[in-house]
Amino acid sequence: MSPSSVAFLFPGQGRIPDSLPTHEASFQPLLALTSQAGLELDAWIERNDTDRLTQTDAAQPALYLDSLSRDRTLKRKGWTPSCTAGHSLGEYAALTSAGVLEPTPCMRAVLERGRLMNPIRGAMAAIVKLEIETVRELCQGTDAVLANHNGRTQVVISGTQAAVDTVMKAASDAGGKAIPLKVSGPFHSPLMQPAQDELAGVLESLEFASPSIFVISGVSGRTEMSGGVLKELLCRQITAMVRWVDVMNELERLGIETAIEVGSGDVLTRLGKRSGSSVRFMTYQEALDESL
């Protein structure tokens, strides 16, 4: 596989990892940071404590660790990406993989991100079978906003519970299908502004290097090769819409042939396959099997 034709795609908050890389010495400083924050991630995973692990302050560092571990495994197996992108939280792993952020300071930022976002309550829902402009119109006059543009007819909305419920009903009446998401907060909405403002101070203190490979930002939907621009975009990310359709279009523009979902699930793989893209989308396990 030509290294110029491979992209690593990192998913956002979703599935709980089956394990953490506790056996790898290089991950010990990151695991120590989670322990210092009062998070017993490995114990919670061993006990399958889903109630605790799905809370934002625990889910985000656990997923960041899982993503980094899978990233390193794929690279050891011979997969060399020329491009990375991440969906929401996944951008932190994407930036680490591309050499923009070092793992330890990035983990500190992820821990703060989860801590700041955790207490903000709201709801999110996926709206399918309707195009983005239709969903945008349904949100008008409510506190709900567009949070993710994941596909031509898949949009995620975010806001207060009442506003999301209103738009879900309107979407169903308009011929769409509304699916509530199992999250505790209104991610990528203005309700997250207090968390974004505080996190910006943390991110401003970090050094963002220029990427060693292409990085596609989920905030701009474009390839960004400046560390300063990537920092500015990440500072706005918590309230900004995830432009995943634009990210997938950019993969084609860059000539990417294969995009690997660097996570335990297949959400990004399924979105890619449904998009009609010429890119071949693969799960992590499929990539491992092919590298043997």
For residues 24 and 233, give the distance between their C-alpha atoms in angstroms, rounded to a whole number: 32
For residues 76 and 212, give the distance between their C-alpha atoms in angstroms, rounded to a whole number: 18
Any idea which residues carry the catalytic annotation? 88, 188
For residues 68 and 47, give the distance between their C-alpha atoms in angstroms, rounded to a whole number: 22
The answer to whether the beta carbons of residues 101 and 84 sit under 8 Å apart is no
DSSP code string of 217-270: -TTTSSB---HHHHHHHHHTTTTSPB-HHHHHHHHHHTT--EEEE-SSS-HHHH
156 forms beta bridges with: 126, 148
* DSSP 8-state code for residue 211: P
3-state secondary structure at position 20: coil
Place of tokens 């793992």: 103
Half-sphere exposure of 190 (CA within 13 A, CB side): 4
Which residues are CB-contacts of 193 (< 8 A; sequence separation ≥ 6)? Answer: 239
3-state secondary structure at position 81: coil
Q: Please name which of 271, 261, 272, 275 lies closest in space to residue 63, comparing C-alpha atoms.
A: 261
Q: Give every strand in the sheet of 83-86, ordered side by side.
A: 214-216, 83-86, 6-10, 258-261, 280-282
Residue 255 φ/ψ region, left for φ over 0, alpha for ψ in the -120 to 50 degree band, beta for the rest? left
